[in-house]
Structure 1
């Protein structure tokens, strides 16, 4: 018993010492972190920005209102109109002057209900959606057989086959041999099975591309040919290489409805038809063609007190595709820039320069809203200090490129140095960088010689999971990361607005291209001010 008690006592002491040194080490580490953070003295205004962003964030309520209540914001639809009106009212509720500026018009379209069901050889509701600007069935159910594109040897054979599509739904996408994304195969598959899968997929892609090529027309032209030949509908499946995700764009048919079907259900339909089993589906859609409708940018401003005719622009596109609710493309950019505006109006109601907030329309069809703004407002473009653009997803900013401006390092680094270190510590910068060629709205300003910067975000699986897919919805947002972006953008916009003079816009000499010719600065491009769809 004595020996046992002694062992017990000694073990307790050893445990106590271990815990003491463990907590000492942890506390020492925390103290070091506090010390490192404390070495950066934040300006009083920056401290207020950080506090407001962290303790009074409106991001979640903005996201709910925009994504769940307003919903998707396809140009030319009532959803886009609701979004413009919502943003206008929200800015005005914060005491920020705003207006919806017309820049063009687009073919109007309103989504109605969609029902897609397989009725033979058995009954099953199919996962799918009507593509944007698709013609409708006028609220009536169309029941017809499903067929797929044939394997023909040449265009003559294809044209001989065309009459057989009359009264049928035609599948025009390649069926996928697997619905598992590559990362799932790599996690669980053997090397042999992975290799076989990839060979099978690659071989099928070659065969399908040859099938399209043999028709003598491009893949984009096939829907119109099929509907002209009497097809009652076009079926596609544009898989995004992730579980449950399909890319959802616009229809290329004008008379027959176009529908995108999930990988799983599309594959089932294809296998049934290829095995010679008669397969029929029932489709009912009730979309409406609204004729041409106006397209707008929502422009808000916080007027400058010292240089009111010089500008800092917060940039994001308000429009989206129709697959989900446009959460990460670009609801996140929109609500972040609106939150920045709200905070600056509260903390810095009288900035030296005017802070403009541009929520652009029709970005998805070719940066049409921002390109129009650049051309329509030369006096603003001439006197813009900087443009900060958020577009690519919910992640915290990880990279800033100098967009090809020689002195970008000087002023961007100066502005970033005022941002809390915990926000900027993982951001990679590239100076002077290169001008963007057209991937997002900052490119419209860069082409005009304005220092405009894409605040590029961490992926969070953006391109495969949410970019233009049916899964781009509220639940994919990461609000902690968005708060980082709000703080970063608000502080940089504040510092840019307070500069003593406009920054130097000198452009770098671009390296020669692969053809050996000198690099050329991207030109200003004309927007499409009238559009009809895709």
Structure 2
């Protein structure tokens, strides 16, 4: 996995140096100009170490190790939905694997997580013609009555159009045929679509899958309800079916759908965040956190989202250990639980550990895929960015050349918003 060392080298560089400053009041002073120059010189001194790390990961004995670890988990356990036996099996497997890897302080931290299960689902267009449609219920959605919901459809392309046509929506199934702009912009139709439709009296909401490409493949993901708004069932449909209904509606044709969803929500279940460390030799109470989430949706193996992010984070610690490198600060690996349900595991971790926030030098997560790396996105002070720019220079053999603003992630945003520097990978699909 040639993309991995950029995470690894960032961790190594930070833990060998002075604490990063975010520029916010969390007890860390800004670095002076002279200190930055000293730090730059120190980072450059790790060029040989960087080369050794890259060689071991790309060409040496660790080549493909994280891939093999991940493939074993997804093949043996499969999907890992919050509250499921599969997720708890995966947590136990990883707990024992981290111990076998001789990492330190391997332990499980209890978390209460949502337990929602998908039942049988179907959508049948009954007019203007009969046509079964592929759907995937959205996480946390309620089900329909046992006989389903049969109703006329209102197709809209935006929330503003829904408001303009609010009088037409009562008693109907709202179909969102929104254009794809970006994931961050378009995903609001998945998360907020049910609430917005319920506010104008709709009985269900169907959302065009949040993707620029489709091979008749509906997606899933979490939706958000509001306590003061009636809950209505909601599912994603394919891009193709959304566009088809958009064309029918533009011709003035009446569309009727029969929707059946047997989703159920159960009491919260017991789960765990999985933690392992390499203890710092000089400042063991100061932490550099690297992470990915172990849970996944139930309709896939969870290999890319986010098994690979979790496993390359583990690989970072394994490589440091294999080369007998000793960081000054503690490197802490966390496999989050219930990220897909809105960052439940990471929120509970933050609430449990925020009392020591001044001891966190950097927080990182990998959850944007493992495509061809082109840079790092980072949130922190100007002094911290100066340090990161020097670290990026060590990563040029891996094509890591850019340092951009905007480091964030569901599982680390709590820390970043509180002032701790944060980073994520910038990559492009190949």
**Normalised by the shorter chain, which TM-score bucket?**
0.5 to 0.7
Separation of aligned partners in 2, 1:241 and 1:344: 38
C-alpha change, 1:87 and 1:268, in structure 2 (3 Å) is same
Whether the 8 Å CA contact 2:295–2:339 is kept in 1: the answer is yes
**Secondary structure of the structure 2 residue equivalent to 1:135:** coil
- Who is 2:52 aligned against? 47
Query: 1:195 maps to what in 2?
Result: none
Provide the C-alpha distance between the structure 2 equivalents of 1:321 and 1:237, rounded to a whole number of angstroms.
18
Distance 1:289 1:154 in 2: 29
The equivalent residue for 1:89 is 96
Residue 290 (1) aligns with residue 269 (2) = no
Matching residue within 403, 410, 415 for 1:445: 415
Match runs of 1:230-309 below 5 Å: 231=203, 233-244=204-215, 248-251=220-223, 256-269=232-245, 271=247, 281-294=257-270, 296-309=272-285
1:427 lines up with 2:398 in the alignment: no
Q: Could you tell me how far 1:273 is from its partner in structure 2?
A: 6.6
Deviation of 1:161 (Å): 7.2
For residues 411 and 388 of structure 1, do their structure 2 counterparts lie closer, same or farther at Cα, with a shift above 3 Å needed?
same
| Residue 371 of structure 1, CA deviation | 4.6
Query: Superposed, which structure 2 residues align to 1:461-500 within 5 Å?
Result: none
Which residue of structure 2 aligns with residue 485 of structure 1? none
The answer to whether the Cα contact below 8 Å between 2:287 and 2:331 also exists between their aligned partners in 1 is: yes
Three-state SS of the structure 2 residue aligned to 1:290 is: strand
Q: CA RMSD in A?
A: 4.5
Aligned to 1:514: none
Q: Could you say if the C-alpha distance between residues 87 and 65 of structure 1 is closer, same or farther in structure 2, counting changes exceeding 3 Å?
A: same
Distance 1:93 1:276, change over 3 A: same
Q: Give the corresponding residue for 2:121.
A: 114
User: After superposition, what is the alpha-carbon deviation per residue over 1:472-530, rounded to whole angstroms, capped at 9, x for unaligned?
Assistant: xxxxxx7xxxxxxxxxxxxxxxxxxxxxxxxxxxxxxxxxxxxxxxxxxxxxxxxxxxx
Correspondence for 2:427 among 446, 452, 458 = 458
TM-score of the superposed pair, with normalisation by structure 2 = 0.66
SS of 2:176 mapped into structure 1: coil
How far did 1:353 drift? Answer: 3.5
Normalized against structure 1, the TM-score is what?
0.55
SS at match of 2:211: coil
Determine which of 68, 89, 99 is the counterpart of 2:107: 99
Give the drift of 1:287.
Answer: 2.9
Match of residue 144, structure 1, among 145, 150, 156: 150
CA drift at 1:101 = 1.6
Higher share of residues assigned helix: 1
Aligned to 1:130: 137
Alignment pair present for 1:311 and 2:299: no
Q: Is the 8 A contact 2:206 2:236 kept in 1?
A: yes
Does the CA contact (< 8 Å) of 1:400 and 1:429 recur in 2?
Answer: yes
**Shift of residue 357 of structure 1?**
0.4
Deviation at 1:427, TM superposition (A): 1.4
1:289 Cα deviation (Å)?
A: 1.5
Distance 1:252 1:273, change over 3 A: farther
Paired position in structure 2 for 1:206: none
Q: How many residues align?
A: 366
Q: Where does 1:382-421 land on structure 2 (aligned, <5 Å)? A: 382-401=358-377, 403-408=379-384, 411-412=387-388, 415=391, 419=394, 421=396
Task: Give the match for residue 67 of structure 2.
Answer: 60
Gaps of 5+ in 1: 1-39, 183-208, 210-216, 461-477, 479-534
Cα distance in structure 2, aligned partners of 1:289 and 1:238:
23
Shift of 1:91: 1.8
For residues 162 and 351 of structure 2, the distance between their equivalents in structure 1, rounded to whole angstroms, comes to 47
Question: SS at 2:380's partner residue?
Answer: coil
**Which structure: greater strand fraction?**
2
Q: Which secondary structure state, in structure 2, belongs to the residue aligned with residue 172 of structure 1?
A: strand
Aligned mates of 1:439, 1:364 — CA distance in 2:
12
Indicate which of 312, 324, 328 corresponds to 1:348: 324
- Give the one of 162, 170, 173 matched to 1:170: 173
Distance 1:267 1:113 in 2: 25
Quote the Cα distance in structure 2 between the aligned partners of 1:376 and 1:288.
30
Q: 1:457: how far off?
A: 1.8
The structure, 1 or 2, with the larger RCO (C-alpha pairs under 8 Å, 6+ apart) is 2
